[in-house]
Homo-oligomer: A and B are copies of this chain.
Amino acid sequence: MANSPPPVRILWVNPIGSPDYDQPMGEFMRGIKNADTQINVVSFRAGGPQHLEFRTYEALVIGDIIRAARDAATSGMDAMVIGCFYDPGIEAAREISGSTVVVGPCQAAVQIAGNLANRFSVIVGQNKWIQQMTERVHTYGYGDRLASMQPINIAVPDLQADCEFTARQIIEAGRRAIDEDGAEALILGCTCTFGLFEAVQKELKVPIIDPINAALKMAEALGGMKRQFDWAPSRVGSCLPPPEAEIESWGLLPAGAGIGNRYQVV
């Protein structure tokens, strides 16, 4: 068991068919990662959805997410993050990720919040998201702690359009969550609001969990444990991966398939 903080290697997947977020997110993460963490930000080939506000869009990228998980496995990544708060395809990615730990921003956020507050709310963009995200939170076991889902009525593509406006809407929705629903912490329910949590936290004075920060830090922690203690994903029972012979004979997961852009953060 090594003692120095292991230089963890992370694959961060922006699961959309556009490279536009890769560099800004990468830059943002450069500012918060541990000194020696290496992050590989990738997105998919053009031609796919450019956000995942609908189940249809998630379904159309989920194949590429699995291909990215395979890429993480074969390139020896310690952890991989599926960079969307719906954690799309996380169960399947965990099956095929080899010894790479797969982290979802939603699961990371609720686990952290579960250490800081007895009840929390999630700030969502639109009503549309509520049922699916509620189900996710329940799947992870945190349904009893969910005070509410509070919408700000902004679509994903507009979240970064006027950051000040978005922040104001979050603060208002957050205040409703605290005052009316009994929330004690807030989770921002989209990876596209990165950079805003500090202003909100200053104003509302409860922990504001940003899913990018949460996912990156949990990826560093779990990636480190994998390095130190060999705590890699289980491969028995329901975690059994498909046989390599089948994958090969059907030609299912050619190397590098799906990935359209790579941005390195060292």
Residues from chain B with a CB closer than 8 A to the CB of A59 are: 62-63, 65-66, 89, 92-93
Nearest B-chain residue to A53, judged by Cβ: B242
Q: Which of B142, B233, B242 is close to A54, meaning CB atoms less than 8 Å apart?
A: B242
Contacts of A31 in B (CB 8 A): 1, 3
Q: Which residues of B contact A207 (CB under 8 A)?
A: 230-234
The reply to whether B114 and A250 form a contact with Cβ atoms under 8 Å apart is no
In the complex, which of the residues A1, A96, A117 has the most CB atoms of chain B within 10 Å of its own CB atom?
A117
* Alpha-carbon gap, A155 to B238, bound state (A): 14
Interface positions, chain A 21-61, Cβ under 8 Å from B, are 30-35, 47-50, 53-61
Give A220-264 interface residues, CB cut-off 8 Å to B. Answer: 220-222, 224-225, 228-242, 246, 250-252
Tell me the bound Cα distance from A83 to B144 in angstroms: 26
CB-CB under 8 A from A55, the residues of chain B are 91-92, 95-96
Residues of B within 8 A of A1 (CB): 31-32, 198
A182 touches B232 (CB 8 A): no
| Contacting residues, chain B, for A241 (C-beta < 8 A) | 54, 56
Interface size, A (range): 35 or more
What's the minimum C-beta distance from A259 to chain B, rounded to whole angstroms? 15
A217 to chain B, nearest CB (A): 5
A150 close to B (CB within 8 Å): no
* Docked CA distance A49–B228 (Å): 34
- Interface residues of chain A, those whose CB is within 8 Å of chain B, are 1, 3-5, 17, 30-35, 47-50, 53-63, 65-66, 89, 91-93, 95-96, 101-103, 107, 111-112, 114-119, 127-132, 140-145, 178, 182-185, 197-198, 201, 205-207, 209-210, 213, 217-218, 220-222, 224-225, 228-242, 246, 250-252
Closest 3 pairs between A and B when the two form their complex, measured CB to CB: A141-B141, A131-B238, A221-B221
Known: A49-B250, A91-B132, A206-B234. 18 other contacts (CB 8 A): A3-B31, A5-B34, A47-B251, A49-B252, A55-B95, A57-B242, A57-B252, A59-B93, A112-B231, A118-B237, A127-B237, A130-B238, A141-B141, A141-B142, A184-B234, A201-B230, A210-B229, A213-B228
